[in-house]
A and B are shown apart, each in its own frame.
Chain A
Amino acid sequence: MRILIVEDDEILGNGLTVGLAMHGFTPDLAVSVAEADAALLAGGFSAVALDVMLPDGNGHDLLRLMRRRGDATPVLMLTALDGVADRIQGLDGGADDHLGKPFDLDELAARLRALVRRGAGRLTAHLEFAGVTLDPARMEAAVDDRAVGLSRREFTILHALMEHPGAILSRAQLEERLYGFQEGVESNAVEVHVHHLRAKFGSRFIETVRGVGYRLREG
């Protein structure tokens, strides 16, 4: 899941980037309203963690701008002022959730997962397809109740494919999920991780659609 973090504080921004990556997200960091706006226009985010006070503006304003142009990406506000009035302002302004600083990294991750799940219209936290279960909170998969260990990147790719079972995801889309904007892309990384996943879940589980991309296949 690609998450846009909008936070101008270097240490917190770095912490969120590293911490959310550890939780299986693919975070991108924007340090100003302008940067965040540009990133949002490029699109591809499952959720946004938005700080209120930014050097060139206000998180509430960015949120209003997003909603006005029809951007429905779930937004979680990170605020220092978490009085009732501030929370109401955020939620009424179009925010989907709210977390007061300082917050717990695990809670932030859980709330982001819940936001994405709700945004996709799913009821359960687990993803299931063809006997394979994926628990995004623990980054664990199971085949017929037998646990299967996953690396972070393997999890990211499997998660992306299982979010839209049957749909074809291009290599570029998977690369974006893996690396976000910032990291350098290793040329054959996707093939390597797909290869590992096939070793764990059976060679027919992930199908290569030649020239287009990958998709999950039943049986």
Chain B
Amino acid sequence: MRSMRARLFLILIAATGLVWLSATAWVYLSTRAEVEHVLDARLMEAARMVASLIESQEIDTAVASLDPDVMPDRRHSPYERQLSCQIWSLTGTLIGQSDGAPAERLSDHPDGFAERSIDGDMWRVYAIRDEARGVQVLVGDNLDIRARLVRDMVKGLALPMALVMPALAAILWFGVGRGLRPLSQLATGLEHRAAGDLHALPQTETASEIRPVVTALNGLFGRVGEARERERQFLAYAAHELRTPLSGLKTQAEIALKADRPETRTLALNQIVTAVERTARLVRQLLAMAEAEAVPAAHVEPLRLSEVAREAVAGQEARLTAKGGTLRLDPSLDGIEIEANGTLLALALRNLVENAVNHSPPGGTVRLSWTGRGVAVEDEGPGMPENEIARATSRFFRGSNHTPIGSGLGLAIVEICAEKLGGRLILGRRKPAGLRAELQLAGPREGNRSSSPGEGATGRVLGDAVG
């Protein structure tokens, strides 16, 4: 059944009906038993009374026969004439009978209770046999009248119930509807909500039964709102980051077309070359980010860290040496063997090294080393102010010390990789100058240096931590 109201209503009405029915049945049975008990006792008493009257000779058995015509017929109530009495001699002649008693002998049994049908009426008869006087007293009770008594009592109970039933049903129907109103109000509120409205529902006036639903809905609204805000921001950043260089390209191209002086044209063309380089890098980084997100982290392989590091720096070293700088792979990297996803690790390290090389001052050193928990990449550039470090891994964030070709995606890519590797990226300032970026791994397995007991604690196999 779809409607909660109809369902509750039916349950309530069925329960009420059942209670009423069983109450009626109980009243019927107990009344019948009680009536039987009381009337049997009266029957017995009446029989004894007649017998005792005969014994004390107040009734002359010889003349006990009463003329039925003498006694006026007074049938006032349906319960009158319930009892009939017959006095028989033991020889089988009717000595006397009460007014209205059936003509037939009430019962043939010697004494005690018996039931018998006479002219279609059921009679309950009590018999007393008086051997001394040679008479038998039979007192009978019409069972139909007894049944009618019980029936009338039950009817008196059931009829008001049956009459009240529609009223009760109506009260229940409206009551249930009213009881469910907070639910329908909630539903109406949600129905009329605009698609973009993600405000929390008011929780103060809500019924306690619906509050969990409201809380859950509010939680959902909150999460959807956050996700949408993130998406909106990403879109805003992406639009800005993609359209600004295009705008720059267009403006510089217009200048180059219009410039009268060759120096101006050359400058503009140079700017165009830089802009194209930067846009190309942005595209590369966007693809790298998509790759980092798409690589299944579960795929792990044993890796020699020094080899991964050498590959990561391979393309970058030339750019650094062109600036007069040096790239140093610390000996601490040698012999470290880890189990991780090679693609993610290489991508992360390449971006960290690229970042370091970009920010390295002329003659500066970029150094890669093993920290015991991961790989640190350090440069001697301007570093990052503390307040920017927290935001540095946001997509498209470019700090105040950004380079002209920075896309704002490098550290975001590294963080995606770090998360997928089960580790994390820790950024900090390097003393005296520069940035120190540490890519901590989930649980590197020490290779030929695993004899060091202190470092064995972190010696989990990386694959376990990566789902």
**B contact residues, total (Cβ < 8 Å):** 33
* Binary contact readout A96-114 vs B (1 if CB under 8 angstroms, 0 otherwise): 0000111111100000000
Cβ–Cβ contact B244 & A15, under 8 A: no
**When A101-B247, A103-B247 are in contact, do A18 and B268 touch as well, CB less than 8 Å?**
yes
- Bound Cα distance A87, B250 (Å): 22
Q: How many Å from the CB of B404 to the closest CB on chain A?
A: 5
Is B100 interfacial (CB-CB < 8 Å)? no
Cβ–Cβ contact A81 & B239, under 8 A: yes
CB within 8 Å of B: which A10-39 residues: 10-12, 14-16, 18-19, 22, 32
Cβ–Cβ contact A15 & B267, under 8 A: no
Q: How many Å from the CB of A61 to the closest CB on chain B?
A: 14
- Bound Cα distance A35, B254 (Å): 27
Cβ–Cβ contact A11 & B400, under 8 A: no
Q: How many Å from the CB of A176 to the closest CB on chain B?
A: 23
* Binary contact readout A59-80 vs B (1 if CB under 8 angstroms, 0 otherwise): 0000000000000000000101
Cβ–Cβ contact B246 & A101, under 8 A: yes
- Bound Cα distance A11, B245 (Å): 7
Cβ–Cβ contact B249 & A18, under 8 A: no
In the complex, which residue of chain B has the Cβ closest to the Cβ of A15?
B251
Cβ–Cβ contact A53 & B247, under 8 A: no
Cβ–Cβ contact A11 & B275, under 8 A: yes
- Bound Cα distance A11, B241 (Å): 13
Is A161 interfacial (CB-CB < 8 Å)? no
- Bound Cα distance A10, B267 (Å): 13
**When A9-B245, A12-B247 are in contact, do A22 and B236 touch as well, CB less than 8 Å?**
no
CB within 8 Å of A: which B376-400 residues: 398-400
Chain A hits for B259, CB < 8 A: 22
* Binary contact readout B237-274 vs A (1 if CB under 8 angstroms, 0 otherwise): 10111111111111110110011000010011001001
Chain A hits for B258, CB < 8 A: 22
In the complex, which residue of chain A has the Cβ closest to the Cβ of B401?
A55
- Bound Cα distance A78, B245 (Å): 13
Chain A hits for B240, CB < 8 A: 52-53, 80-81, 101
- Bound Cα distance A78, B247 (Å): 10
In the complex, which residue of chain A has the Cβ closest to the Cβ of B399?
A55
Kindly identify which residue among B236, B267, B268, B399 contacts A80, using a CB–CB cutoff of 8 Å. B236
- Bound Cα distance A14, B278 (Å): 15
**When A12-B247, A80-B242 are in contact, do A19 and B400 touch as well, CB less than 8 Å?**
no
Chain A hits for B268, CB < 8 A: 15, 18
Kindly identify which residue among A12, A22, A53, A100 contacts B248, using a CB–CB cutoff of 8 Å. A12
Chain B hits for A55, CB < 8 A: 398-400, 402
- Bound Cα distance A104, B237 (Å): 22
- Bound Cα distance A55, B271 (Å): 21
Cβ–Cβ contact A12 & B255, under 8 A: no
Is A191 interfacial (CB-CB < 8 Å)? no
How many inter-chain residue pairs (CB < 8 Å) link A and B?
Answer: 86
Chain A hits for B243, CB < 8 A: 80, 100-102
- Bound Cα distance A101, B248 (Å): 9
Cβ–Cβ contact B252 & A15, under 8 A: yes
Is A218 interfacial (CB-CB < 8 Å)? no
Chain A hits for B245, CB < 8 A: 9, 11-12
**When A22-B258, A102-B247 are in contact, do A11 and B252 touch as well, CB less than 8 Å?**
yes
**When A53-B236, A53-B237, A55-B398 are in contact, do A9 and B254 touch as well, CB less than 8 Å?**
no
**When A10-B404, A105-B254 are in contact, do A18 and B267 touch as well, CB less than 8 Å?**
yes
Chain B hits for A9, CB < 8 A: 244-245, 247-248
**When A52-B240, A53-B240, A80-B240 are in contact, do A22 and B255 touch as well, CB less than 8 Å?**
yes
Cβ–Cβ contact A11 & B274, under 8 A: yes
Cβ–Cβ contact B254 & A102, under 8 A: no
Cβ–Cβ contact A14 & B236, under 8 A: no
Chain A hits for B236, CB < 8 A: 53, 80-81
Chain A hits for B254, CB < 8 A: 15, 19, 104-106
**When A11-B275, A55-B399 are in contact, do A18 and B255 touch as well, CB less than 8 Å?**
yes
CB within 8 Å of B: which A115-157 residues: none
Q: How many Å from the CB of B272 to the closest CB on chain A?
A: 8
- Bound Cα distance A9, B248 (Å): 8
Q: How many Å from the CB of B426 to the closest CB on chain A?
A: 23
Q: How many Å from the CB of A114 to the closest CB on chain B?
A: 19
* Binary contact readout B348-388 vs A (1 if CB under 8 angstroms, 0 otherwise): 00000000000000000000000000000000000000000
Q: How many Å from the CB of A66 to the closest CB on chain B?
A: 21
Cβ–Cβ contact B251 & A16, under 8 A: yes
Identify the interface centre among A51, A53, A106: most chain B CB within 10 Å of its CB: A53
Cβ–Cβ contact B244 & A14, under 8 A: no
- Bound Cα distance A18, B255 (Å): 7
Q: How many Å from the CB of A111 to the closest CB on chain B?
A: 14
- Bound Cα distance A15, B275 (Å): 11
- Bound Cα distance A51, B240 (Å): 10
**When A53-B240, A105-B254 are in contact, do A11 and B398 touch as well, CB less than 8 Å?**
no
Give the interface of A toward B (CB within 8 A).
Answer: 9-12, 14-16, 18-19, 22, 32, 51-53, 55-56, 78, 80-81, 100-106
**Listed A/B pairs (5) with beta-carbon separation below 8 Å:** A11-B252, A22-B255, A53-B236, A55-B399, A100-B243
Contacts A15-B268, A19-B251, A104-B250 aside, 5 further interface pairs with beta carbons under 8 A come to A15-B271, A56-B400, A80-B244, A81-B239, A101-B247
Which 10 residue pairs of A and B lie closest in terms of their CB atoms, listed nearest first?
Answer: A15-B251, A12-B248, A11-B248, A102-B247, A80-B240, A101-B247, A101-B243, A80-B239, A80-B243, A105-B254
